[in-house]
Amino acid sequence: MKVDKIYVKGGSKFSDLVSKWAEDKSNEVIIVSDKFNELFEEMDSLLIFNENQNIGKEILDIKAFFDKQQKASHKIDINGTLMVGLSNLDLWIERTKAKRMYIVGIDELMQNPNLERYITAIQ
């Protein structure tokens, strides 16, 4: 997965993990703190990490915002089959031509060993 920019929400354990991982996967990693509205126009896609389709209210609100603007979004269930999840992600990126991606997930995902499995497997 090579995109131009990866955006992550600042101030969370999940975002810290994704930031470190994203350094190899994009040209630039941007930490989004209170400037989401200013940076939203730059973003072209939303990638949501979740477990068992459990998505927090804040992330649902972000997804609704992307949907309203007709920007692409994709969910990865880290408890799902790894190869299917990776194939679907690759197809989604290819189909939508995602280049400036906002990646979100709740901190509770950090307790699930499948998160690390997915993060390290995404090329």
**Domains of the chain by residue range:** 3-121
Handedness of CA 108, 112, 113, 114 (dihedral sign): negative
3-121: in CATH 3.40.1010:
yes
Per-residue pLDDT of the chain (123 residues), as tens digits, is 678 999 998 888 999 998 888 887 778 899 888 778 888 999 999 999 999 888 889 899 999 999 999 999 999 999 999 999 999 999 999 999 999 999 999 999 999 999 999 988 987
Residue 55, amino acid: I
